[in-house]
Chains A and B, each alone.
Chain A
């Protein structure tokens, strides 16, 4: 082993820890999923065909850039094939909302307005669960 791998001070150790944090953050967040924002992208066949994979990648990238903490996961068909790509967004303490016809731009708007500021705009109206409740 060369001597370069040696950690020479507490500060170096802290730096190393910070650089290694990211892999743990995801695991730690998963321990308490109800406390953090969750974005679940519908990743069924038609969702994928409509671009769900790209949307999911964009969410992950964009959240990291904007330094917004959220868990992005995939889920099966939400039933809204008409509105694909579709994602369900759960903000702690609020009713889960489903957003459809997602584009990269809409994803950004959802992060900026709904997740960060907590309000909805005309452009990103959700298809709420009530809307599909059978009569």
Chain B
């Protein structure tokens, strides 16, 4: 039996949080009620990326794209769209600039510049059904590798493609596989690093939720190339949906004999197990990750020896990130040349970014390497929320740095970002607007690092703590100019001396904000003023006597009775008592209270 229509409903974590599961159930019910369940199929897919407007629904074949769909809309979609053939106009996306309704996702700015490779199946297939993956050439790359190619040929294809590690450091994937292959050992391991920990990043989670089989397939290919018979996925337990779908994928692959003994009639055998992480940031570092899997504390150790020589339980281990794996099958299918045709000279292919912060279209995007930050933030991202001014974008999470207006036209690739004092990282992109205080942002990342440092090496354990203390001092108005010098020197010492990648990159947010926003730091330490009024201790609340009507609304709202004044006469705020909570501003109807 074949269906003539499909209703694709996003069932990624974001959309599920706004009831997309119930929506899919309601659609199923409405189809049965209207006798359409034999010709129309509801497909629960992975993330469409347009999380800002979720839950998202796509109608096939006419490609109508509905946004912010609620379970109560199911009835209308079935009756109006499927039966009468009319679009449900209130659910269409409205272009915020032209105010025009757009019915087709291809004409939505968010999708125009995107090119989906790693996310090719996300939002397109049902991740819990291996047949849909196979229908999209799934496992053909594995079959091709096993029966028609030698491991060396597969590795050469990857080298030629120019694929570099998507976890952050950008090490050539083919080279890594080659290293592991060359080491002779009785047992080897293939590990998938799904310990995504950057604040605001959800690329790997979305790949695992939307297309888990691509990772399973690539790990098996990796096993074939490195003579490993065992694969391990290290995933954080706080990703329950990704874990669930990965488990289903592994089970289905085993049932089809695509994992297990003698895969596809060859003498290659491979199996995958899941290992849970408790959600420690440092466990994204490969040596710490391996120790965590061994049941030891998640602490980094010196490299060399690299995991490719002595990794899990002392055996050679190849560790790759989720998104890196997701690229592998499609490279083998379409060829290295095709992949190398996208991107810049040294960074090939595409990159997935999780766009978050003060940007209109929060979501998951994939663009070719070499796309500029401006195109990502103002094109795909739809610009800054509420028409505010762009201030900075943090790439690479707590290990990366802040990039500013002058970097907007920089083509994104590994080397350009490092050159600009940031890094690619795993792909988190947090956009900040004029209201964000860069000192506070640096302090936020430092708080995160101090909490996540494993404590093994002194520079990271103590150095970062000191950085955090100095930043705290500055944000409460007790900073001196010498503190800036200390921040700079200490930051660079930590960079040079810390043991692992976490420590070596941890001062980056502080150093890059100091470089690009020195005047903001100076305003904090010299004038004891926070230019964006985010540091509470540094802001002062005032009443504009010309605007104040003496309505007493603020007096009643103030929790500490800091506002006084006669009725119908201008009020005054006592700065000593004021706790700068902002309640008065919210209550004032005359816009009479301001902050300096």
What is the interface of chain A, defined by CB distance below 8 A to chain B?
A: 1, 5-10, 12-14, 16-17, 20-24, 26-27, 29-33, 42-44, 60, 71-76
A5 touching B255, Cβ below 8 Å:
yes
Checking A10, A12, A16, A23 against B132 with a beta-carbon cut-off of 8 angstroms, the contacting residue is A23
Question: Knowing that A10-B264, A24-B125, A72-B4 are A-B contacts, what are 12 other residue pairs whose CB atoms are under 8 Å apart, sorted by A's residue number?
Answer: A8-B257, A10-B140, A10-B146, A10-B147, A13-B264, A21-B135, A33-B63, A43-B84, A73-B62, A73-B85, A75-B86, A76-B84
Contacting residues, chain A, for B258 (C-beta < 8 A): 7
Contacting residues, chain B, for A9 (C-beta < 8 A): 143, 147, 264-265
Checking A14, A20, A30, A42 against B131 with a beta-carbon cut-off of 8 angstroms, the contacting residue is A20
* B237 at interface, CB cutoff 8 A: no
Contacting residues, chain A, for B84 (C-beta < 8 A): 43-44, 76
| Given A14-B140, A17-B140, also A30-B63 (CB < 8 A) | yes
Contacting residues, chain B, for A14 (C-beta < 8 A): 140, 143
**How many Å lie between the Cα of A8 and that of B2 in the bound state?**
26
Q: B1-34, CB under 8 A of A: which get 1 and which 0?
A: 0111010100000000000000000000000000
Q: B374-395, CB under 8 A of A: which get 1 and which 0?
A: 0000000000000000000000
A6 touching B256, Cβ below 8 Å:
yes
Contacting residues, chain B, for A22 (C-beta < 8 A): 2
Contacting residues, chain A, for B62 (C-beta < 8 A): 30, 33, 71, 73
* B139 at interface, CB cutoff 8 A: yes
Contacting residues, chain A, for B147 (C-beta < 8 A): 9-10
Which residue, of B8, B60, B135, has the highest number of chain A Cβ atoms within 10 A? B135
B134 touching A30, Cβ below 8 Å:
no
A24 touching B264, Cβ below 8 Å:
no
A43 touching B265, Cβ below 8 Å:
no
A20 touching B85, Cβ below 8 Å:
no
* B177 at interface, CB cutoff 8 A: no
* B136 at interface, CB cutoff 8 A: yes
A10 touching B143, Cβ below 8 Å:
yes
Nearest to B135 among chain A residues (CB) is A20
**How many Å lie between the Cα of A27 and that of B144 in the bound state?**
25
Tell me the residues in window 151-172 of chain B with beta carbons closer than 8 Å to chain A beta carbons. Answer: none
A13 touching B135, Cβ below 8 Å:
no
Main secondary structure of the interface of B (DSSP, over half): mixed
**How many Å lie between the Cα of A21 and that of B140 in the bound state?**
13
A17 touching B137, Cβ below 8 Å:
yes
Nearest to A6 among chain B residues (CB) is B257
Q: Provide 30 A-B residue pairs closer than 8 Å at the C-beta atoms, listed in order of the A residue.
A: A7-B256, A7-B258, A7-B264, A9-B264, A10-B146, A13-B134, A13-B140, A14-B140, A17-B134, A17-B137, A20-B131, A20-B134, A23-B41, A23-B132, A24-B132, A26-B3, A26-B4, A26-B6, A27-B6, A27-B8, A30-B61, A31-B63, A32-B106, A33-B62, A33-B63, A42-B85, A43-B85, A44-B85, A71-B61, A72-B61
A24 touching B85, Cβ below 8 Å:
no
| Given A8-B257, A71-B61, A76-B86, also A23-B2 (CB < 8 A) | yes
Contacting residues, chain A, for B41 (C-beta < 8 A): 23
Nearest to B145 among chain A residues (CB) is A10
B146 touching A17, Cβ below 8 Å:
no
**How many Å lie between the Cα of A71 and that of B4 in the bound state?**
10
Contacting residues, chain B, for A10 (C-beta < 8 A): 140, 143-144, 146-148, 264
Contacting residues, chain B, for A32 (C-beta < 8 A): 106
A26 touching B61, Cβ below 8 Å:
yes
Contacting residues, chain A, for B66 (C-beta < 8 A): none
Contacting residues, chain A, for B131 (C-beta < 8 A): 16, 20
* B414 at interface, CB cutoff 8 A: no
**How many Å lie between the Cα of A42 and that of B85 in the bound state?**
8
* B124 at interface, CB cutoff 8 A: yes
| Given A7-B264, A8-B265, also A24-B135 (CB < 8 A) | yes
Q: B55-82, CB under 8 A of A: which get 1 and which 0?
A: 0000011110000000000000000000
A5 touching B256, Cβ below 8 Å:
yes
**How many Å lie between the Cα of A27 and that of B124 in the bound state?**
8
Nearest to B253 among chain A residues (CB) is A7
**How many Å lie between the Cα of A20 and that of B265 in the bound state?**
21
Nearest to B137 among chain A residues (CB) is A17
A76 touching B85, Cβ below 8 Å:
yes
Checking B104, B144, B257 against A7 with a beta-carbon cut-off of 8 angstroms, the contacting residue is B257
A17 touching B63, Cβ below 8 Å:
no
Contacting residues, chain B, for A72 (C-beta < 8 A): 4, 61
| Given A20-B134, A60-B4, also A13-B139 (CB < 8 A) | yes
Which residue, of A5, A60, A73, has the highest number of chain B Cβ atoms within 10 A? A73
**How many Å lie between the Cα of A10 and that of B148 in the bound state?**
10
**How many Å lie between the Cα of A30 and that of B2 in the bound state?**
16
**How many Å lie between the Cα of A60 and that of B61 in the bound state?**
13
Closest beta carbon of chain B to A96's beta carbon, Å: 14
Closest beta carbon of chain A to B108's beta carbon, Å: 14
**How many Å lie between the Cα of A72 and that of B146 in the bound state?**
40
Tell me the residues in window 243-260 of chain B with beta carbons closer than 8 Å to chain A beta carbons. Answer: 255-258
B257 touching A30, Cβ below 8 Å:
no
**How many Å lie between the Cα of A8 and that of B264 in the bound state?**
5
Closest beta carbon of chain A to B102's beta carbon, Å: 14
Contacting residues, chain A, for B85 (C-beta < 8 A): 42-44, 73-76
**How many Å lie between the Cα of A22 and that of B41 in the bound state?**
13
Closest beta carbon of chain A to B250's beta carbon, Å: 13
Contacting residues, chain A, for B124 (C-beta < 8 A): 27
